[in-house]
């Protein structure tokens, strides 16, 4: 099972500091998201592959015709939040307002129900697992926010969640999870399936890991394939490296990827899962040694 997904955000959404986007000026930070997404849509049309696009409400508000074009070409639309703020930096009411606003603007734009969600920077974790209940309350059936390992802004710091599973939410409800996976490598786990991990690793290694796995959730951003984007100031050395490494060859690697593998959207992949026998997980317990059951 190979899933192709894109997080529709602009090049400057690599910044997460609170208050940054209230002061974003179109003249200071010129948008590149429309051209970048159109490049991806045209590439996918060439090989007749459909993908899932997790869209920021911030982008929908400014470029609604881009979202309707993604939908018109037969791709799946999901929510990537409204403001791209880290959920770990927000209280419950703020998260609820953000999710509600993002889903409303998307559904008004495409006149379809939004059923999939991915948190900015995979920022659903142990301390804010209540966000999953908010998703269910707003009609989301499938979450794609779990990063199966340590991550700068979230992640589940336990390995092994490399397949679809059900998460038991704090209220006792169940939500379907299609996580970001990893591959066992040299006694640890190696991320390879998107973003900077995809850009830095040689393609033959990515292909090797994908061939060995029966579940691959690939995730990308439009900026991952835009070598001419400006460089954001005030980033740490590590963050700067992760954000800009490998941009020159990334589109070529994507072309190889979609030529070598077949892909599903998130919802189509979820339909192929027998959820009656899928493993369950409670996030708040998984960090204390309990595995899937």
pLDDT tens digits, one per residue of 51-95: 999 999 999 999 999 999 999 999 999 999 998 888 888 899 999
| Whether 81 contacts 10, CB under 8 Å | no
pLDDT of residue 237: 82
Residue 17 lies in a domain: no
pLDDT of residue 187: 66
Taking every pair of Cα atoms in the chain, the longest distance, rounded to a whole number of angstroms, is 52
CATH of the domain at 93: 3.20.20.370
Indicate whether this model's pTM tops 0.85: yes
pLDDT of residue 86: 86
Domain around 279: 2-11+48-286
Residue 97 lies in a domain: yes
pLDDT of residue 183: 79
Residue 74 lies in a domain: yes
From 130, 118, 103, 109, select the one nearest 54 (Cα to Cα): 118
Parallel, antiparallel or unpaired: strands 174-177 and 142-143: parallel
Rounded to whole angstroms, the Cα distance separating 116 from 46 reads 25
**DSSP 3-state of 143:** strand
Strand partners, 2: 216
Residue 247 lies in a domain: yes
Residue 18 lies in a domain: no
For the chain, which residues score pLDDT lower than 50?
159, 285-293
| Domains contained in the chain, number | 1
């Amino acid at each position: 099972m190979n899933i192709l997904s894109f997080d529709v955000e602009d090049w400057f959404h690599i910044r997460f500091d609170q208050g940054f986007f209230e002061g974003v000026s179109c003249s200071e930070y010129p948008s590149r998201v429309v051209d970048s997404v159109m490049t991806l849509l045209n590439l996918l049309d060439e090989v007749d592959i459909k993908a899932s696009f997790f869209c920021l409400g911030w982008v929908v508000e400014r470029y609604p015709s881009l979202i309707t074009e993604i939908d018109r070409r037969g791709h799946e639309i999901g929510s990537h939040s409204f403001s791209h703020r880290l959920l770990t930096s927000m209280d419950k009411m703020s998260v609820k307002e953000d999710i509600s606003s993002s889903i409303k603007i998307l559904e008004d734009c495409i006149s379809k129900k939004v059923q999939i969600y991915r948190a900015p920077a995979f920022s659903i974790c142990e301390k804010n697992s209540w966000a999953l209940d908010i998703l269910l309350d707003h009609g989301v059936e499938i979450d794609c926010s779990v990063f199966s390992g340590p991550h700068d802004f979230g992640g589940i710091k336990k390995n092994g969640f490399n397949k679809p599973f059900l998460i038991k939410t704090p209220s006792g409800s169940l939500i379907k999870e299609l996580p970001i996976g990893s591959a066992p490598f040299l006694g640890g786990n190696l991320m390879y399936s998107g973003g900077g991990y995809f850009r830095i690793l040689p393609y033959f290694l990515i292909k090797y890991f994908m061939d060995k796995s029966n579940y691959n959730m690939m995730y990308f951003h439009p900026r991952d394939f835009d070598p001419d984007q400006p460089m954001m100031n005030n980033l740490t050395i590590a963050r700067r490296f992760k954000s800009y490494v490998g941009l020159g060859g990334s589109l070529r690697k994507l072309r190889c990827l979609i030529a070598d593998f077949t892909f599903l959207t998130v919802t189509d992949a979820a339909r192929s899962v027998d959820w009656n026998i899928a493993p369950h997980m409670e996030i708040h317990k998984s960090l204390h040694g309990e595995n899937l059951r």
